[in-house]
Copies of this chain bind each other. A is one copy, B any other.
Amino acid sequence: MSFADWLFGAPLASWEDREQRIGIAAGVPTFGLDALSSAAYGPEAALTLLIPAGVAGVAYIVPLSLTIILLLAIVFTSYWQTIAAYPKGGGSYTVASENLGRLPGVTAAAALIVDYVLDVAVGISAGVGALVSAVPGLQHDTVAICLGILLVLTVINLRGVREAGVAFMAPTFLFIGCLLLVIGRGLWAMVASGGHPHAVVAPPSASAAHAVEAVSAWLLIRAFAGGCTALTGVEAVSNGVSAFREPASKTAQRTLTIIVALLAILLAGIAVLVRAYHIVATPPGSAHYQSVLAMLTAAVTGRGWFFFVTVASILLVLSLSANTAFAGFPRLCQIVAEGGFLPTFFAMRGRRLVYNIGIIVLTLLAGILLIAFGGVTDRLIPLFAIGAFLAFTLSQAGMVVHWRRKRGPHWHRNLMLNGVGAIATGITVLVVLVAKFTEGAWITALVIPALVWMMVRVKRQYERMERAVRPQPLRLDHLQPPIAVVPIAGWNLVTENALRFACTLTPHVRVVHIHSADEDMPAQPNWQPAMAEAAAQAGIPAPQLDIVESPYRFVIGPILDYVLKLEHDSPDREIAIVVPEIVARRWQHFLLHNHHATALKAMLLLKGSSRTVVINVPWYIKK
C-alpha cells in the first residue's frame, strides 16, 4: 500500500461513483454543518449588537429571529424548487445563468466563491478562538491549530465525500441533540413557571446590564444584519445535488428540509429562551465574556457534565463547519469550470472521485487568510453574509424568470413566492452592505466584481481557443517530410544518436554547428566528408553541414535565427529541430549538464510557429 493510498484511500473507479453517493444521514453533516453551526453565532451576533440597549434590547430578539426564520423559509422554498428544477446541481449559479444571463450567473458564482472561502477561515478560527478562550495556554499556537484543522479537513475531504460525511456525523448529531435537549428542557421550565423560569445558574450580567442607548430602528437593522449570518450555508445542498444517492433530487430535498427545519427550531428556541431568561450578551474580548449559548445552557441545566458536553460539541461543530464549504466549493467550481468560466482542471475528478483541485485551492485561499489574520478572523465576519445573500437574491430572481417561462402547475404561486424572496433577500443584501460597509463589507464589494471580471476573461479566452481549434473533416493528404535541423556542438554518441534519428524521419537533414572561434577550436570543424561517407554507405542522401559563426559566444540565439530563417525560406515545409539531450536521472547530476536543449525549446515555443516542431532525443547516462 502506497503512502497516497494510506492517506487518501485507494483510487476509486468511475463506475464506483454510485456507491460513493451519500444519503440523508451523511448529507446533514456534510452539507448542513455550516447552516446548523450558524445557530451558534447568528443569535449571538444579533444579541451582541443589542448590548447597548440592555435588557430592553433582549426583548427584540424574538421578532428579529422570527423575521430571520421567515427569510429562511423563503430561501428554503426557493432552493427546494431549484433542486427539483436543476438536478445536476449548481444552485444559484445555474439558476441565475440559465434564467438571467451570463453576468448574473457569474456574479452569483463569484459571490458564493468568496462566501465559501470566508466560511472556512471564519469557521475554523471561531472554533479555535472558543477553544483558546477556554484553554488560554494555547494562545500562542492559534495559527498552528487553525492550520492543523484545515489540513485535517483537506485530507478527509480528499478521501471522498462519503468519508467526510461519515467522519462528521457524530459531532453533528451530538451538537443537535444537546441543543434540542437544552431547548426542550428550557421550554418545559418556562411553561411550568408561567413564562418566568428560574435560572439554575443566573446569567452573569443580566442584573448589572443597563441601557446606554435607546432602541432605535438603526440598532434593530444592524442587529438584523448580524443575525442574518445564521442563514449562510443554506445554499450548500443545492450546489451538491450530484453528491446525493439516487433519486438525487429527492434525497437532496429531504436533506435540505431536515437541515432547515432543525435550524429554524434552534433559532426559534434560542430566541424564546434568551428572552425568558433575560440573557444579555457579554462583549466579546472582555474578561467576563461568555457565549450566549453557554449562558443559556448554564441557566437551563446548570454547570454539570451536560453543560461541558454541550459547550464542547458547540466548539467542535464550529471548527468543523468549514467542512460544508469543502463539500460545496469544489462542486461549484466544477460546474462553473464546465461552463468555461474557470480553468478546466477544476472539473477533473481525482482518485477518490472528488474535485481535488477545488479542495486544494480552497485550502490554499483559506490558509492564506488564516495566516494573514493570525487565526483571528473576527474582522472577516462583516464580509461574511453579503456573498451568501447576493447569491440568494440572484437565485430567487432567476426562479421568477424560470416560472414565467415554464408556467407549470401553480406557477403563479411559485412566481409570487420567489418574487417576495428576491425582494426580501435583495433588501437584506443592501441592509447588510450598508450596516457593515465601513467595517469591511467594502472589501467584498470590491472582490466580487474583480472575480467576475476574471471569470469573464477566462470564458472569452476559452471561446477564442474553441473557435481557433474547431475540427474539420480529417485530411491526411499533401504530406511532405519535414526538414530536420540537428544542432551539434561536437561528435559523441549523444549527437550521433540524434543524427541517426533525424535520418529516419526525413531525407532532408541539416546539421547546424555554432562556431565560436577561441582557443579550444580555432578553425571551423569539417564533418562533411564523414557524414557524406556514412550516408553513401547507408544509401541515403547526405546530411548538409551548416556552420554559423557566433563571435559573441551565444548559442541559443544563432540556432533560433537559423531556424526562423529556414522557416521563412521554406513556407510550405515543417521544420523539425532534433535536439540531442543528455538526461540525468539523478538530481545531483542535473547541474552537470548544460541545458541548452531546454533553453532552445523554450525559445522556439515563444518565437516559433505551428510549423516548428521540437524533437527531444534523450540519451541516458548509465549509472
* A contact set with B: CB distance below 8 Å: 11-15, 343-345, 348-351, 457-458, 461-462, 464-465, 468-482, 491-494, 496-497, 499-501, 503-506, 516-518, 530-531, 534-535, 537-540, 551-554, 574, 576, 582-583, 585, 588-589, 591-592, 594, 601, 605-606, 608-610, 612-622
Contact = CB atoms under 8 A, between A and B. Distances in A.
A476 B535 contact: yes
Contact of A493 (B464, B468, B619): B468
A344 B489 CA distance: 14
A126 to B, nearest CB: 32
Nearest to A494: B469
Nearest to A242: B519
11 contacts: A13-B551, A14-B552, A349-B553, A468-B622, A470-B493, A471-B493, A472-B493, A475-B500, A476-B503, A609-B620, A615-B616
B504 A592 contact: no
Contacts of A344: 592, 594
Contacts of A348: 553
Contacts of A493: 468-472
Contacts of A609: 620
A573 to B, nearest CB: 10
B494 A480 contact: no
A503 B474 contact: no
Nearest to A573: B504
Given A14-B518, A553-B349, A589-B461, A621 B476 contact: no
A197 to B, nearest CB: 56
A616 B574 CA distance: 13
B482 A501 contact: yes
B516 A14 contact: yes
A108 B290 CA distance: 71
A503 B530 contact: no
Contact of A530 (B474, B552, B583): B474
Given A465-B621, A589-B461, A471 B491 contact: yes
A474 B516 CA distance: 24
A617 B349 CA distance: 27
A614 B615 CA distance: 6
Nearest to A543: B476
